[in-house]
């Protein structure tokens, strides 16, 4: 289904949000002729596609890309060429801001550096649009909250997982009270081996750089649950295991390009077969030692593949969550149990191209409604159609109405990572861990607007 048809067919709230007036642009910073000056920090793969190539192609009437910054000068040059921009490139963030005066910094560095760029960017007068996760631990999260208060700038966390139309539909249904008060949520997400090895090969496999998948990946999932049920997490009990990768491998090599086991390794990957990966990473690893095709059996890997957690929410709901990375299957299963009934969704494979069936099963004792399938419409674009919708809101018309509260700020970013942080602590300490006290944020029964 095309996006235009989707707008015609979907609920009023979502359509209203997406159609919201080009006219409001005219009053905003982003009006044609009054373009916003943006710069991107961290020129890896997320930057060159979404915030580089796509940004210039689709939003040049609204923004000026005035600079790119990365610690790796070779990757910077490749990124500028790939994106097709003539903007200046910098290895020094202060210099970029001093010379180019961007109003907004887009942060796409590796996760462990987000806080440095966010805080320094705000200090030098920029608003921030940052990729998830906001940061990787509670100390950096607290520092970001304090800096935001001190410098008075705006921070948006790009939770694109909130934007796919069928997830917006779930939010609408929950807001409308379809299941009543949510009492528990079942959410089980599978990453297949090819997806998981993309993490294991690079910095994501090392907890001090990606915060483990409890933070790097699950931040998306925990944020969606916080947003859908509109309450804050209070306490977490978790288990996590690493059994296949890292030291558990049967053999290991320096990296895939220099390995004696390419014939027998099920995870061998030829980086030279991808012009973009070779140009961004392999050709420039002599600058900073960033190896993109690291061995998935290297001993430095200290994250988990299997993740299981119970999260108690301030409104009394309980989340039963798992992230299973040791699987040949990708997809997920999600269900909300409530006082009026149960709303369920199964998603297999990725990416998905068809419309989505949401199944509602009423509670026989509280209502005499019949079970029903509620159609939610597919729309085109990255991450189940969410990326282009979020990009429109960010760059075309930031003032468009947001009735579902899809735009996220630092509080959402912090609350979502704190579940992962608490899960890591719970595993280490063999006990439940409270969210209160990790940062200044106090869990609330209903999330503040
Ligand atoms: N929302 C999503 O669906 C989604 C998808 C992919 C990636 N991401 C996020 O985007 C970010 C980038 O991911 P990626 O896959 O492009 O990673 P990447 O490793 O390809 O790129 C990160 C870049 O950051 C640079 N860098 C590291 N420290 C820096 C610093 N202090 N200053 C400037 N540059 C620095 C590295 O040199 C590298 O070029 C991550 O935070 C990731 O979580 C989000």
- pLDDT tens for each residue of the chain, 449 residues long: 333 333 333 332 233 333 233 333 333 344 556 899 999 999 999 999 999 999 999 999 999 999 999 999 999 999 999 999 999 999 999 999 999 999 999 999 999 999 999 999 999 999 999 999 999 999 999 999 999 999 999 999 999 999 999 999 999 999 999 999 999 999 999 999 999 999 999 999 999 999 999 999 999 999 999 999 999 999 999 999 999 999 999 999 999 999 999 999 999 999 999 999 999 999 999 999 999 999 999 999 999 999 999 999 999 999 999 999 999 999 999 999 999 999 999 988 655 667 889 999 999 887 788 999 999 988 888 888 889 999 999 999 999 999 999 999 999 999 999 999 999 999 999 999 999 999 999 999 999 98
351 prior amide bond cis, ω within 30:
yes
Q: For the whole model, what pTM was predicted?
A: 0.92
- Tokens standing for residue 153: 């700038």
- Are 396 and 389 spatial neighbours (Cβ–Cβ below 8 Å)? no
Residues sharing a CB contact under 8 Å with residue 185, sequence separation 6 or more, in sequence order: 225, 228, 229, 317, 318, 319, 320, 334, 335, 336, 337
Ligand 1 atom at shortest distance from the alpha carbon of 160: 1
Helix (H, G, I), strand (E, B) or coil at 39: strand
Q: What is the biggest distance separating any 2 CA atoms in the chain, rounded to whole angstroms?
A: 67
Distances from the Cα of 35 to the Cαs of 3, 59, 63, 118, 396, in angstroms? 26, 10, 5, 22, 10
Which part of the chain has CATH 3.40.50.720?
Answer: 17-160
Which part of the chain has CATH 3.30.360.10?
Answer: 161-245+301-434
CATH architecture, domain defined by 161-245+301-434? 2-Layer Sandwich (3.30)
- Nearest alpha carbon, ligand 1 atom 41: 111
- Nearest alpha carbon, ligand 1 atom 18: 44
User: 87: CA distance to ligand 1 center in Å?
Assistant: 20
In 4-103 the beta strands, taken as DSSP E runs, fall at 36-41, 63-69, 88-90
- Are 41 and 100 spatial neighbours (Cβ–Cβ below 8 Å)? no
CATH 3.40.50.720 fits domain 17-160: yes
User: 214: CA distance to ligand 1 center in Å?
Assistant: 17
User: 342: CA distance to ligand 1 center in Å?
Assistant: 38
- Are 392 and 168 spatial neighbours (Cβ–Cβ below 8 Å)? no
CA distance 181 to 163: 23
Burial string for 196-205 (b: 16+ CB within 10 Å, else e) reads: bbebbbbbbb
User: 44: CA distance to ligand 1 center in Å?
Assistant: 6
Q: What is the CA radius of gyration of the chain?
A: 22
CB atoms within 10 A of CB 361: 16
**CA nearest to 265, candidates 249, 282, 243:** 249
How many alpha carbons fall within 13 Å on the CB side of residue 212? 22
- Tokens standing for residue 9: 């067919």
DSSP state of 392: I
Pocket test residue of 75, 110, 283 for ligand 1, highest count of atoms within 8 A of CB: 110
- Nearest alpha carbon, ligand 1 atom 12: 108
Ligand 1 atom at shortest distance from the alpha carbon of 91: 33
User: 107: CA distance to ligand 1 center in Å?
Assistant: 8
User: 198: CA distance to ligand 1 center in Å?
Assistant: 14
- Are 356 and 378 spatial neighbours (Cβ–Cβ below 8 Å)? yes
CA distance 158 to 147: 19
User: 68: CA distance to ligand 1 center in Å?
Assistant: 13
- Nearest alpha carbon, ligand 1 atom 9: 131
**CA nearest to 236, candidates 319, 302, 303:** 319
**DSSP-derived pairing of the beta strands 306-313 and 233-241:** antiparallel
Residues sharing a CB contact under 8 Å with residue 373, sequence separation 6 or more, in sequence order: 357, 358, 359, 360
- Are 371 and 380 spatial neighbours (Cβ–Cβ below 8 Å)? no
Q: Tokens 């090895």 belong to which residue?
A: 197
| Pocket (CB within 6 angstroms of ligand 1) | 41-47, 69-72, 75, 108-111, 113, 116-117, 131-132, 158, 160, 216, 290, 383
- Tokens standing for residue 233: 């997490």
User: 448: CA distance to ligand 1 center in Å?
Assistant: 30
- Nearest alpha carbon, ligand 1 atom 13: 46
- Nearest alpha carbon, ligand 1 atom 5: 46
Residues sharing a CB contact under 8 Å with residue 179, sequence separation 6 or more, in sequence order: 173, 336, 337, 338, 339, 340, 341, 342, 343, 360
User: 16: CA distance to ligand 1 center in Å?
Assistant: 33
- Nearest alpha carbon, ligand 1 atom 10: 108
Pocket test residue of 109, 128, 203, 388 for ligand 1, highest count of atoms within 8 A of CB: 109
DSSP state of 13: H
Residues sharing a CB contact under 8 Å with residue 371, sequence separation 6 or more, in sequence order: 359, 360, 361, 362
DSSP state of 369: P
- Tokens standing for residue 70: 């990365």
User: 346: CA distance to ligand 1 center in Å?
Assistant: 30
Pocket test residue of 47, 77, 108, 206 for ligand 1, highest count of atoms within 8 A of CB: 108
Length of the chain: 449
Distance of CA 313 to the CA centre of its chain: 21
């Amino acid at each position: 289904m095309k996006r235009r048809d989707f707008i015609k067919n979907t609920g009023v709230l979502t359509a209203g949000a997406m159609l919201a007036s080009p006219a409001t642009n005219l009053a905003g910073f982003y009006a044609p002729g009054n373009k916003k000056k943006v710069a991107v920090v961290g020129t890896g793969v997320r930057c060159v596609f979404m915030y580089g190539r796509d940004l210039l192609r689709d939003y040049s009437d609204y923004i000026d890309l005035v600079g790119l910054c990365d610690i790796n000068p070779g990757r910077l040059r490749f990124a500028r060429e790939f994106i097709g921009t003539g903007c200046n490139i910098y290895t020094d963030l202060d210099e970029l801001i001093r010379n180019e005066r961007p109003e907004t910094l887009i942060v796409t560095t590796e996760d462990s550096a987000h806080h440095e760029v966010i805080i320094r960017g705000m200090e030098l007068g920029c608003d921030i649009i940052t990729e998830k996760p906001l940061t990787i631990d509670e100390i950096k999260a607290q520092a970001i909250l304090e800096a935001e208060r001190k410098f008075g700038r705006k921070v948006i966390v790009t939770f694109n997982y909130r934007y796919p139309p069928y997830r917006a539909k779930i939010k609408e249904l929950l807001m409308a009270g379809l299941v009543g008060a949510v009492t528990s949520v079942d959410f089980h997400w599978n990453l297949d081996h090819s997806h998981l090895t993309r993490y294991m090969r690079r910095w994501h496999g090392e907890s001090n750089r990606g915060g483990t998948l409890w933070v790097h990946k699950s931040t998306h999932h925990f944020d969606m649950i916080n947003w859908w049920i509109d309450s804050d997490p209070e306490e977490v009990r978790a288990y996590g295991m690493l059994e296949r990768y890292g030291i558990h491998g049967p053999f290991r090599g320096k990296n895939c390009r220099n390995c004696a086991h390419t014939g027998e390794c099920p995870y061998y990957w030829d980086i030279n077969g991808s012009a973009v990966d070779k140009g961004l990473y392999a050709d420039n690893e002599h600058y900073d030692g960033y190896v993109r095709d690291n061995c998935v059996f290297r001993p430095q890997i200290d994250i988990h593949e299997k993740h299981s957690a119970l999260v108690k929410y301030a409104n009394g709901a309980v989340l039963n969550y798992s992230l299973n990375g040791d699987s040949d299957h990708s997809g997920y299963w999600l269900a909300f149990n409530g006082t009026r009934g149960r709303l369920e969704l199964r998603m297999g494979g990725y990416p998905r191209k068809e419309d989505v069936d949401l199944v509602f099963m009423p509670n026989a004792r509280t209502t005499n409604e019949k079970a029903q399938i509620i159609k939610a419409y597919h729309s085109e674009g990255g991450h189940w159609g969410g990326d282009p919708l979020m990009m429109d809101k960010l760059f075309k018309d930031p003032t468009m109405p947001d009735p579902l509260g899809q735009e996220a700020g630092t509080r959402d970013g912090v609350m979502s990572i704190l579940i992962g942080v608490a899960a890591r602590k719970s595993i280490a300490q063999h006990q439940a861990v409270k969210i209160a006290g990790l940062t200044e944020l106090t869990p609330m029964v209903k999330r503040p607007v």
